[in-house]
């Protein structure tokens, strides 16, 4: 029987007696009820055979006095074959002692004395049938609970596995996205670098201006403990701050600002708006456009193009203005002049052109960017050709390509990427001079 299916309403009853009259009479009595399906055995052996053939016998009624096998003996065997069947013993007064022993041993649910009262027998049978139904129902419910528990456990296991699989898939996708993101960021940085090189080619009188300004802006932003994303953004904007100069006429580009006439000054001032306009079609660069537009605003409001003052000027633009000013002034001095002199010259600019509250970040940042040469006793100076460059060497002079494009600035410590870049540029746009480097004494 499938334990999870509800048991039938009728109960199978097995009657065992060697006297045919008795079994006939019992069959007749039980036949009046719809609740029972009756089976007859004329001996203990026959009764056992029926139990082997017929499953789910609910009640067994057996006579005690039978040849070969007594009722108690038969019911003991029956208990093994059908442990859930309710057992009733029919017995005469002479057998009461044996019947009581059988009840005490648990082999019999009840005994009825012969001759029986029909009402009494039907009532005992009804009680036995209810008892069997209760046991069957209990068994069915237990089986159902066990089945549902197993299903729940299986479902839980599958769910857990599914969550693990999905987590692993999400992690793989996330790793792949992070990798692509990194590639995009590197590619974005390389594009910005290439554009900075282009800007520097247009204005070779200040080699490395875009990249030096960017390094100084980034160093100040880091000293201010700004978030990495903001540092990257300000650095990129500083790289491109003079991109508008690409469209400037040669006459204006060559002249010092102090010597420009009114018309030329207007053209010069347009480079900030032109710079913003040039990069505006690229959504990823649009945010940088504002910093480019405002890098010539003065702290006191006297700058261009919008005459913004103080905090109205975006922080990134104020930082670019400081680095731009420092870098331009640095070019007015020989390379080995201490940058402290430049800081002294800038004293007049704080509070007028530049934000005085940012002054404290410039000194350390400038030292970091422009004073990185290691002249300790461990280091010696050497002249080497591009194919002799080795990782760890430090460049003592700016390296420019044959046509004057700044490739690497003074103080750079070489890594594999920078050596590869110099060697490739040497093939494309060769430079004659050997490269002066600092190397560690052996
Ligand atoms: Fe500028
Ligand atoms: Fe500039």
What one-character-per-residue DSSP string does 348-410 give? Answer: GGBTTTB-GGGHHHHHHHHHHHH-----STTEEEEEE-GGG--TT-EESS-EE-TTS-EEE-T
Residues with CB under 5 A from ligand 1 (ion): 242
Ligand located closest to 275 CA: 1
pLDDT band of residue 438 (cuts 50, 70, 90) is: confident
Asked if 203 and 321 touch (Cβ cutoff 8 Å), the reply is no
**Per mean pLDDT, which range of 41-45, 224-228, 331-335, 341-345 is the poorest?**
331-335
Comparing 359 with 35, which gets the higher pLDDT? 359
Indicate if the pLDDT at residue 328 is higher than 50: yes
Return the C-alpha torsion angle 392, 397, 400, 405, nearest 10.
100
- CA 414, 416, 422, 426 torsion-angle sign: positive
What pLDDT does 274 receive?
Answer: 95
Query: How much distance in Å is there from the Cα of 406 to the middle of ligand 1?
Result: 19
User: What percentage of the chain reaches a pLDDT higher than 70?
Assistant: 93
Ligand located closest to 206 CA: 2
What tokens were used for 34?
A: 């719809």
Query: How much distance in Å is there from the Cα of 420 to the middle of ligand 2?
Result: 28
Indicate if the pLDDT at residue 398 is higher than 50: yes
Query: How much distance in Å is there from the Cα of 396 to the middle of ligand 1?
Result: 28
Query: How much distance in Å is there from the Cα of 413 to the middle of ligand 2?
Result: 25
Q: What's the rounded mean pLDDT across residues 81-109?
A: 80
CA-to-CA distance for 92 and 110, rounded, in angstroms? 14
Ligand located closest to 213 CA: 2
What pLDDT does 6 receive?
Answer: 61
pLDDT band of residue 340 (cuts 50, 70, 90) is: confident
Query: How much distance in Å is there from the Cα of 246 to the middle of ligand 2?
Result: 12
Tens digit of each residue's pLDDT (9 = 90 or more) over 57-88: 999 999 988 998 988 889 989 999 999 999 99
Q: What's the rounded mean pLDDT across residues 108-128?
A: 87
Tell me the residue length of the chain. 442
Q: What's the rounded mean pLDDT across residues 205-209?
A: 77
Indicate if the pLDDT at residue 141 is higher than 70: yes
What pLDDT does 4 receive?
Answer: 54
Query: How much distance in Å is there from the Cα of 328 to the middle of ligand 2?
Result: 7
Query: How much distance in Å is there from the Cα of 221 to the middle of ligand 1?
Result: 19
What tokens were used for 110?
A: 């009840």
Tens digit of each residue's pLDDT (9 = 90 or more) over 346-371: 999 999 999 999 999 998 898 888 76
Ligand located closest to 199 CA: 2
- Hey, what CATH topology would domain 203-371 get? Hypothetical protein af1432 (1.10.3210)
Q: Is the bond preceding 115 in cis, omega lying within 30 degrees of 0? A: yes
Tens digit of each residue's pLDDT (9 = 90 or more) over 242-255: 999 998 999 998 88
Query: How much distance in Å is there from the Cα of 244 to the middle of ligand 1?
Result: 8
Indicate if the pLDDT at residue 34 is higher than 50: yes
pLDDT band of residue 399 (cuts 50, 70, 90) is: confident
Query: How much distance in Å is there from the Cα of 247 to the middle of ligand 1?
Result: 13
What pLDDT does 341 receive?
Answer: 81
**Per mean pLDDT, which range of 89-93, 310-314, 424-428 is the poorest?**
89-93
- CATH, domain range 11-146: 3.40.50.2300
Domain with CATH 1.10.3210.10 in the chain: 203-371
Report the SS3 class of residue 23.
Answer: helix
pLDDT band of residue 1 (cuts 50, 70, 90) is: very low
**Per mean pLDDT, which range of 48-52, 318-322, 369-373 is the poorest?**
369-373
Q: Which residue has the tokens 């017929």?
A: 54
Query: How much distance in Å is there from the Cα of 355 to the middle of ligand 1?
Result: 17
Query: How much distance in Å is there from the Cα of 351 to the middle of ligand 2?
Result: 19
What pLDDT does 281 receive?
Answer: 92
pLDDT band of residue 373 (cuts 50, 70, 90) is: low
Domain with CATH 3.40.50.2300 in the chain: 11-146
Q: What's the rounded mean pLDDT across residues 23-32?
A: 87
Q: What's the rounded mean pLDDT across residues 188-211?
A: 82
pTM above 0.85, yes or no: no
CA angle 329, 331, 337 (to 5 degrees): 90
Comparing 369 with 7, which gets the higher pLDDT? 369
Query: How much distance in Å is there from the Cα of 282 to the middle of ligand 2?
Result: 22
Query: How much distance in Å is there from the Cα of 276 to the middle of ligand 2?
Result: 14
Quote the mean pLDDT of the chain.
88
Tens digit of each residue's pLDDT (9 = 90 or more) over 237-294: 999 999 999 989 999 988 888 899 999 999 999 999 999 999 999 988 899 999 999 9
H-run or E-run covering 37: strand 36-41
Query: How much distance in Å is there from the Cα of 238 to the middle of ligand 1?
Result: 10
């Amino acid at each position: 029987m499938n334990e999870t299916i509800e048991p039938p309403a009728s109960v199978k009853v097995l009657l065992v007696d060697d006297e045919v009259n008795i079994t006939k009479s019992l069959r007749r009595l039980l036949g009046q009820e719809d609740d029972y399906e009756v089976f007859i055995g004329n001996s203990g052996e026959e009764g056992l055979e029926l139990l082997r053939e017929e499953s789910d016998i609910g009640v067994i009624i057996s006579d005690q006095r039978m040849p070969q096998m007594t009722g108690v003996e038969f019911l003991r065997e029956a208990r093994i074959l059908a442990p859930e069947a309710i057992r009733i013993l029919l017995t005469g007064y002479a057998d009461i002692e044996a019947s009581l022993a059988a009840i005490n041993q648990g082999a019999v649910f009840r005994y009825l004395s012969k001759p029986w009262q029909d009402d009494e027998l039907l009532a005992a049978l009804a009680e036995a049938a209810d008892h069997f139904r209760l046991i069957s129902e209990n068994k069915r419910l237990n089986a159902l609970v066990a089945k549902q528990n197993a299903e729940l456990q299986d479902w839980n296991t599958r769910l857990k596995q599914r969550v693990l699989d999905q987590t692993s898939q999400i992690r793989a996708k996330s790793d792949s996205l992070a990798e692509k993101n990194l590639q995009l960021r590197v590619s974005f940085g390389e594009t910005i670098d290439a554009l900075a090189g282009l800007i520097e080619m247009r204005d070779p009188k200040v080699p490395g201006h875009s990249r030096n300004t960017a390094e100084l802006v980034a160093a100040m932003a880091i000293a201010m403990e700004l978030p990495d994303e903001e540092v990257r953004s300000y650095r990129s904007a500083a790289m491109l701050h003079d991109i508008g100069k690409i469209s400037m006429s040669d006459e204006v580009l060559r002249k010092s600002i102090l010597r420009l006439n009114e018309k030329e000054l207007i053209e010069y001032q347009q480079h900030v708006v032109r710079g913003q306009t040039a990069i505006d079609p690229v959504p990823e660069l649009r945010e940088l456009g504002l910093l480019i537009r405002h890098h010539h605003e003065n702290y006191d409001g006297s700058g261009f193009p919008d005459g913004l003052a103080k905090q109205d000027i975006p922080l990134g633009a104020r930082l670019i203005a400081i680095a731009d000013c420092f870098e331009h002034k640095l070019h007015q001095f020989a390379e080995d002049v201490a940058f402290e002199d430049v800081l002294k010259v800038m004293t007049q600019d704080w509070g007028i052109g530049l934000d005085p509250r940012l002054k404290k970040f410039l000194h350390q940042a400038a030292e970091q960017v422009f004073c990185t040469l290691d002249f300790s006793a461990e280091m010696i100076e050497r002249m080497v050709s591009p194919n002799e460059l080795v990782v760890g060497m430090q460049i003592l002079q700016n390296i420019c390509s044959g046509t004057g494009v700044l490739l690497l600035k003074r103080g750079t410590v070489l890594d594999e990427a920078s050596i590869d870049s110099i060697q490739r540029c040497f093939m494309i746009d060769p430079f004659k001079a050997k490269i002066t480097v600092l190397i560690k004494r052996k």
